[in-house]
Amino acid sequence: MKTLNLTLALIVLTLCCFGQKLPLPADKKATKETVILFQSLYELKSKGVMYGHQDDLMYGYTWWYEKDRSDTKEMSGDYPAIAGFELGHIELGSERSLDSVSFSQIAEQIKIHYKRGGIITISWHLNNPLTMQIRDTLTAWPHGTAWDVSSKEVVSSILPGGKLNELFNTWLERLATFFIGLKDEDGHPIPFIFRPFHEHSGSFFWWGTNICTDQEYSALWRYTVTFLRDKKNIHNILYAYNTDRVTSLDQYLRGYPGDDIIDMLSLDMYDRGEQFGRELDTALGFVTREAISRNKLTALSETGERKGMNNWWSSVLLPVVSKYPVGYVLTWRDAYKTKFSVSGNPIQSSPDDFKYFYNSPRTLFLKKVQEADVYKRK
Ligand code: BMA
């Protein structure tokens, strides 16, 4: 009897550890490469934390779109594992983004980073479709932008039945056209992480928590994903749900559109002072636990150092992200020729500390991700 019990226990253990299937993306028609990327990321998060940098391949403080240039590479000798790109103003049919970056150059760099074996993430600070209709010579920033929170009717106005639904469809069409153009040399769609309508727990974007209802927010997400996935047949996207700082799981999940829509539970948190380490620890604890229980990916999809610290990477960020299967951390853009930066120019301001972060066995930059071969192309 004892031997039988032992045998049964061994069978159960083997099934649990070795027979366990890796989870799948929410899109049941996800392309082969997208499924492989999702599963590689799912496994990688227990091996270390990847580093990402917004607009790393497009510009830095002192340079603008130079071949193969990257601030991360200049500081560490390696490219970031995750390259972040921004599509604000693609909805307007513009040639350049709200940060003056050419969309065709963004597409070019996405293809290059994919070919290198790196991972792509895309954000979208889309304009305010309702208030931008008001043309007044006296209006000033943020009028008509993503940050214009002067009306609470925006989300309802673009959903079906709303007076701007057709306009929003046009915007999604333009976004879809850009996405459809993201193909590798063999014509296969390039998989990427898309993080629209971000930082919902804050109220500084027109889709923010006090600017629309949780139901509207969730409907906006579902409408957008259905449009891209079912109407436009785009199946190379991993969708990232995202909030700004939160203190509880309930707050984090307000407006969550559902596991059939979302692939990644991500969080944005910038260091604004002493309590940051503790708050980040708590938030990453419940977000990563929830992600595991739902078979989703995770990320600290935007963060940035505390101003004036020269050991932020090693003493604040690394200890906390090492405790959890965070997936990746991404620091925001090094805005060209601008002293102001929400990221506080973290790489350049503490080069030795950034190097320490790079050399940590816990962090993964491009070279290690190339070894992991996240698209299994070898
Ligand atoms: C913000 C700021 C803005 C920028 C936007 C989109 O957080 O960096 O200056 O336009 O991201 O990249």
This prediction's pTM = 0.94
Supply the pLDDT for residue 357: 96
Atom of ligand 1 nearest to the CA of 333: 8
Q: Which residues of 113-150 are buried (b: 16+ CB within 10 A; e: fewer)?
A: bbeebbbbbbbbbbbbbbbeeeeeeeeeebbbbbbbbb
Domains and CATH numbers, the chain: 2-372 (3.20.20.80)
Supply the pLDDT for residue 12: 46
Question: pLDDT category, 139, cuts 50, 70, 90?
Answer: confident
pLDDT, tens digit, 9 for 90 and up, residues 309-337: 889 999 999 999 999 999 999 999 988 87
Assess whether pLDDT exceeds 60 at residue 88. Answer: yes
Consecutive H or E run containing 176? helix 165-180
Q: Whose CA is nearest to atom 2 of ligand 1?
A: 342
Residue located via tokens 């229980």: 293
Atom of ligand 1 nearest to the CA of 342: 8
Which residues, in sequence order, are bridge partners of residue 303? 331
Structure tokens, 325 = 């299967």
pLDDT, tens digit, 9 for 90 and up, residues 163-178: 999 999 999 999 999 9
Mean pLDDT (the chain) is 93
**Residue 98 Cα, ligand 1 centroid: separation in angstroms?**
8
Q: For the residues 64-84, what does the mean pLDDT come to? A: 96
Integer CA distances (angstroms), 254 to 23, 36, 75, 211, 249, in order? 24, 30, 39, 13, 9
User: Ligand 1: residues whose CB is within 6 Å?
Assistant: 86, 88, 98-99, 125, 332-333, 342
Instruction: Round to the nearest angstrom and report the end-to-end CA distance of the chain.
Output: 48
> What DSSP state is assigned to residue 230?
I
Residues with Cβ within 8 Å of 72's Cβ and at least 6 positions away in sequence, in order, are 51, 53, 56, 78, 79, 80, 347, 365
**Residue 195 Cα, ligand 1 centroid: separation in angstroms?**
14
Atom of ligand 1 nearest to the CA of 125: 6
Which residues, in sequence order, are bridge partners of residue 330? 52
Residues with Cβ within 8 Å of 205's Cβ and at least 6 positions away in sequence, in order, are 125, 146, 147, 149, 197, 198, 199, 211
**Residue 333 Cα, ligand 1 centroid: separation in angstroms?**
8
Half-sphere exposure of 194 (CA within 13 A, CB side): 27
The preferred substitution site among 147, 244, 333 for testing ligand 1, maximizing ligand atoms within 8 Å of CB, is 333
Half-sphere exposure of 271 (CA within 13 A, CB side): 23
Structure tokens, 144 = 């008509």
Question: pLDDT category, 346, cuts 50, 70, 90?
Answer: low
Supply the pLDDT for residue 326: 98
Supply the pLDDT for residue 306: 84
Which residues, in sequence order, are bridge partners of residue 331? 53, 303
Residues with Cβ within 8 Å of 88's Cβ and at least 6 positions away in sequence, in order, are 97, 98, 99, 123, 124, 125, 126, 127, 146
Structure tokens, 183 = 């193909």
Supply the pLDDT for residue 350: 86
**Residue 123 Cα, ligand 1 centroid: separation in angstroms?**
10
**Residue 302 Cα, ligand 1 centroid: separation in angstroms?**
11
Q: For the residues 213-238, what does the mean pLDDT come to? A: 98
**Residue 332 Cα, ligand 1 centroid: separation in angstroms?**
8
Burial class of residue 305 (count of CB atoms within 10 Å of its CB; 0-12, 13-18, 19+)? buried
Structure tokens, 283 = 């938030």
Question: pLDDT category, 15, cuts 50, 70, 90?
Answer: very low
